[in-house]
Amino acid sequence: MKSRRDFIKKLSVGAGILPMTFSFAPYQKHQYISDIQDGPVLKVAIMGLGSYGNRVAEAMKDCKRAKVTGVISGTPSKIKDWQAKYNIPDKNCYNYENFDAIKNNPDIDAVYIITPNALHHGQCLRVAAAGKHVICEKPMSINAKEGKEMVDACKKAGVHLLIGYRMHFEANTLEVIRLRNAGEFGTVKFFQGLSGFKIGDPNQWRLNKELAGGGAMMDIGIYSINGARYMVGEEPIWVTAQEVKTDPIKFKEGVDETITFQLGFPSGVVASCLSTYAFSYLDKFFLVGEKGFAEMQPSTGYGPIKSWTHKGRLDLPHVTHQTTQMDQMAAIIFDGKKPIVPVDGEEGLKDMKIIDAIFQAVKSGDKVALKL
C-alpha cells in the first residue's frame, strides 16, 4: 500500500488554471533551511511503526538536533526490527498498554504520534500526563472538540504540542509566503488548492470511519485547508462545501470520497479547493493577486516541490521535509524558536474547526460561519 502522501509521480499537463507560457529566469535562492544552532538533542519515541513512521525515522538519521531513542507499537516483531535498525535498547520499547511508563524514562523527551487519526486524542492525553512533549501527525484529531482537549491537556501538563506540518518548514513554501508579504503579488484575490489521489486497498484504516474520522478530507484535503490559510495569509470566516460519491460501497457512510469546498476570507479572497480519493495527479496550489501569481505543483508531496511565479522559477533546493521538521521542532522546544508559520496545537485546532464546518456545510447545503 502506498503512503498517504506518496502519491505524486508526475505532473498533470492539463491541470493549470491559466494557459500561459513563460520564459523563466531563476530567482535568487533564499536560504530557509537555516543553520541549526548547537544545543540539546531532542530524544524522540516514535508511536506507530507503519510506513510514515519509518519515513520519519529514516529522515531523522540526518538530523542535528533530533534522534530516535524509543518506540511504541502493538507489534512485537516491528519493535525488534526497529531496535536492530536504530540501536534502541529494550528499556526504551513500549506497547500501547504500558507506554505511560515513559514518565520515568530520561531517554525520551517527546513522543511522535503516527497512528490512525481516532487514536491521537487518547494517546496525546496519556503522553502529556507522562510529562513528555507531544508531536502529533495531522489531522491532530477527528474533530475540534477532541483537538481542544489535546491543546488544554498539554498546556496543563506544561509540555509542547506540535503538529506534523512539515510544509511549514519547506523552502519553496516559505519563499512564496515571503514574496506575498513583500507585496510581490499585489492584493491577493484568489487561491486554488487541489489535493487528491486514488486510494487503493478498500480494507485499510483510512476508509474506516471509526479509525479515520472521515475519508479523503481528513487525510489529504487538510493540505488544501492548511495551504489556503498560509498561502492567503488570513483566516477564513466562512465555508461552503459539496460532496460527490461515486462508489458508496468503498466509501461508506461518513467516509467522504470527493468534496469541493470554498473558503471566504475577511479581505474578500475566495479559496476554491478539492479533496478526493477518487483520482490522482492532484497536488497543486495556485495563488493570484493583482500584480502576479505563484503556483506550486507538486505543492505538498514529499518533494522536490516545484514552484514558479509570474517572474520565473523558484524550485529552491530540496531537503527531506521530515529532517528539517524535526530539527526545527527541536529548536522550538529547546530554544523557544518561533516558526514563520505556526505548528502548535492551536494551529492544528483551526484546521479541525474548518473540517467540522465543511462536513456541516455538506450536510446542510448552507454557508457555515467560521470563528477560528
The answer to whether the CB of 269 falls within 8 A of the CB of 234 is yes
The answer to whether the CB of 332 falls within 8 A of the CB of 343 is yes
282-289 and 293-296 as β-strands: parallel, antiparallel, unpaired?
Answer: antiparallel
Which residue in the list 43, 67, 132, 138 is annotated as catalytic? 138
In eight-state DSSP terms, residue 217 is I
Torsion angle, CA of 147/152/158/160, rounded to 10 degrees?
A: 20
| Cβ count near 187 (within 10 Å) | 11
Which residues, in sequence order, are CB contacts of 336 under 8 Å at separation 6+?
A: none
| Cβ count near 347 (within 10 Å) | 21
> 148 an active-site residue?
no
Alpha-carbon separation of residue 255 from 190, 205, 250, 289 (angstroms) = 29, 11, 9, 35
Element of type H or E holding 296: strand 293-296
Which residue in the list 223, 230, 277, 302 is annotated as catalytic? 223
Helix (H, G, I), strand (E, B) or coil at 255: coil
47 forms beta bridges with 72, 113
> 138 an active-site residue?
yes
**Measured distance CA(224)–CA(222) in Å, rounded:** 5
Give the orientation angle of helix 51-60 with respect to helix 321-335, to 10 degrees.
70
**Measured distance CA(254)–CA(361) in Å, rounded:** 14
Please identify every residue annotated as catalytic: 138, 223
